[in-house]
Every structure is written in structure tokens, then in C-alpha cells.
Amino acid sequence: MRTPFLPMLMLATLPFTGALAQKSTKPATKAPAYSAVGKKVQVFTTAANTTHRLAATGELRFQELRQPLETQPTVFVDPTHTFQTLVGIGGALTDAAAETFAKLPKAAQQEFMQAYYSPTAGIGYTLARTHINSCDFSSGMYTYVADNDQELKTFSVKHDEQYRIPFIKQAIAAAGGKLPLYVSPWTPPAWMKDNNDLQHGGKLRPEFRQAWANYYVKFIKEYERQGMPIWGLSVQNEAMANQRWESCLYTAEEERDFIKEYLGPTLKKGGLGDRKLIAWDHNRDQVYQRASTILDDPEAAKYVWGIGYHWYENWTGSDMLFGNVKRVHDTYPDKQLIFTEGCIEKFSLDRVSDWKLGEVYGRSMIEDFNAGTAAWTDWNILLDETGGPNHAQNFCFAPIIGDTRSGKLLYTNIYYYIGHFSKFIRPGAKRIISSSTRDVLQTTAFRNTDGSVAVVVMNTSDKPMDFLLWLKGQAASTTSLPHSISTFVVN
């Protein structure tokens, strides 16, 4: 539920939960022995009040240190125990992003694609989301069928062929020809709903459950026919949010029954049973109740790949509830967790340089990964200078703002903060332990398939923090700058 953004409390006022979140009821996998002797550490940093933006800021060397003292701030890294495998990190390819992209000059378009999808010159996105029918980040509302066409004979994605489909195809090409894409509906057609309205919640009418299940299959097959393979899908975006834009409501029991009686069997019958089906796709606050209701039913659970979630639970005045994500992981370790959406709301062009924007992302990504999350997807990858277009006037921030007046791209620090994960932690990487002895240093770490170790350390305080990066009896001395995020790559 996207609602006015509430500023995050500074880390120094919060209990540090990162180390706790790394423990799971599913035993860690024992990895081969690891030695840091002779290894070098490349350091990449983004920091406030500096020119550092994903900048190479030095190289560290290890020295033997068997036992750090309690007076020596330390980040302990253990690559010999592994947890979840990373699926990917990326952002949503919405109508708003596609329309903004189309208004930019060719040079800016090329810069944009390289910035997101090049693993060397950019931040190497490896995952994408898009919407079925319109969403609030569309210029107007639409569906793909004529009214009352229960047999879907009029089904057509012609609307998407103007902006969104060409945009998605360019993103796939920029990513090297492979970009796992999953799709989410905001609402069924109005005539399928009990309020006869695309907006304002409403529920799917029982007599149209099969037609709606068929709709997903039609969409996926048509996108694939046009050259966009679909990796997965969620059942419903924000199934508890009655919004003034496109929305549809399901209780946990209704979503469970729709999955097991209609959507799951229909995907299987349509030859799409291997697509990754994601349940919930809403906030962390109710994620456990939704997951348990669906996954405790074997007939529903057999169709579900994982549980998706958003970060907007702070609309209630709550802080972000990372512990609820961990509870799902601990209870259902054989199902995946995927962060499906997050953004910072109430856009203002005057705030594009606000350093807090990126720090919200850094904190969420560290905590979500430590809670067992296997994939992480930002919301719009591009918006214009108004924070739109958005037909509901629900304007938000994106990592990159396309100023359609000047034709230039404006990079918020969100882009760089996400890049500290997506650029250095690649699909197939396994999370390992990274345990900090100071609450001012938030951290997570992964071991990539090439054997390299990537350790992310974030400092949201106003002071620098000297610390030791410690791996199996070897330590390297370094400093975390105020309001900074660094990735330490051990080769």
C-alpha cells in the first residue's frame, strides 16, 4: 500500500537485528573450507559529502589475527556456512517507466539501459517485474478484453505495443538477452468484479474465477509469443489494499482457494506449470498470516514457488517488520521469499539529492537478505520529473529520474545503494554469515559462484567507524565513512 513516506529512524536508535536474522531453522549448508590468506579485498564506496558513487576506493590486505578484542569493532565473515541462493535483483518495467523512456533522446536512452543492465559499466540488474492490465503508474486505466467477454475472444495486448513492450525488449537485449520477468495484476476487468470498478478494491466474482485464471495464461502466452519469456507471476498486487487506483481484494482463504482451485490447475493445464507462482505480494505486516494460510494447505502449496512482499507497512506508523519475513522463512524454508515492490513516496524534485533515500533501501536490502530473501525487486526503474506519470496522482521516487524537459538522467543515491548489491552479488550467489560487533555497522554477505565473497557494510551515523574485516583468522583494517555504504569484494 503506497502511502505517505514516513522517515526511517536513524540506525543508532534501533536494535541491531542483522545477526539474529541470519539464523534459520533450516540448517545452513556446510561449504568447503575457506582461507583468506593471500587474498586481496577491493573496496567500492558510496558516501555522503564525497564524490564517491560506487567508486573503487582502495585495496585491503589481510594479516593474521586469531582473536579480535571486544574493543576492536569487527565484521566477522564466515563463507563456510551458506544459506539461500540469490535469484536476482532488479526493478519494475511499468507503463510510466516506458513512457518516460520514450520521451528521452536516444543518447539518454542508451545511457539508461547501460546504467541498469551492464554488469561492468552499470549495476547489472538481473530481474524484472511488469503489470497485467494497467496500474497506478499508467497514464490511464485499461484492460485487454471487451466488456463481458468471458471467453476472452477479444484479448489483445495492443495497448502495450506502443511503449511497454518495446521498452521491455530493449531491457532484455541490454541484459544480454536474458532477463527473468514476472508479472502481477492490479485488478481484473471491472465486469469481473462485484463493484464493477477497476478501482476501489472490490472482489472477483465467483462466476468469473475461471475466466480470470484463463486471463493470466492468455497474457503470459502472448508476451512470450512476442519475445518476452515470463519467469513467474504473482496472484494479486496488494490483495488487502482498497485503493483509489486499480485494486482487488482477497482474504487469505480466498487467495488460497483461487490458487488451488483455479489459477494453479489452469497454469498447469496451459503448459505453464513451471512458472514461479508468488502469493501475497503485499506488506510485511501480514505476511506470516497470509503465508501460513496458503502454505499449510498442501493442495494450494504445491503450486506456490514463494511468498512476495512489499515494504509499505510503515503507513500504519510501524517501523519495517523484517522479523515477520524471517518467521516465514523459518517456518517454510522450502519456499522462496521475494521482495516484489518498494519505493519512497511523495515525490519532490527538490529531494532527489536527499541522502536518506538510499539509506532506506540499504537497510531494507540488508535486513531482507539476512531474513532469507532470495530475490529483490525495486518498483519503477524510471520516472519523470513529476514522479510519474501516474493517473492517480500517486507520485513517487525512482532510482533514476528522466527529466523530459532537459533530456537528462538524474541519478538519486538509491541507484548507487542498490548497485552495491546488484553489481557485486550475482545470481547463484549464496548468502553467508556477516556478523557485526557494532550496531552502527549493518551488514550482509554472499559468496558468488566464482568463489568471490561480497560483503556489504552500511553506516547511517554521522561519524566514521574504524573496523576490522575478519575472515577465518585473517583481518583487514578499514574505515566506514559517515552515511556510507561499501562493498568489500574478496578474491
Q: Which residues are catalytic?
A: 238, 341
Any residues with CB less than 8 A from the CB of 48 and at least 6 apart, and which? 355, 481, 482, 483, 484
Taking the C-alpha atoms of residue 113 and residue 107, their distance in angstroms, rounded to an integer, is 10
Which CA distances in Å does 417 have to 73, 358, 447? 23, 6, 19
Strands 375-380 and 336-341: parallel
In our burial notation (b when 16+ CB lie closer than 10 A, e otherwise), range 268-282 reads eebebeebbbbbbbb
Taking the C-alpha atoms of residue 209 and residue 130, their distance in angstroms, rounded to an integer, is 22
Q: C-alpha 122: how far from its chain's center?
A: 17
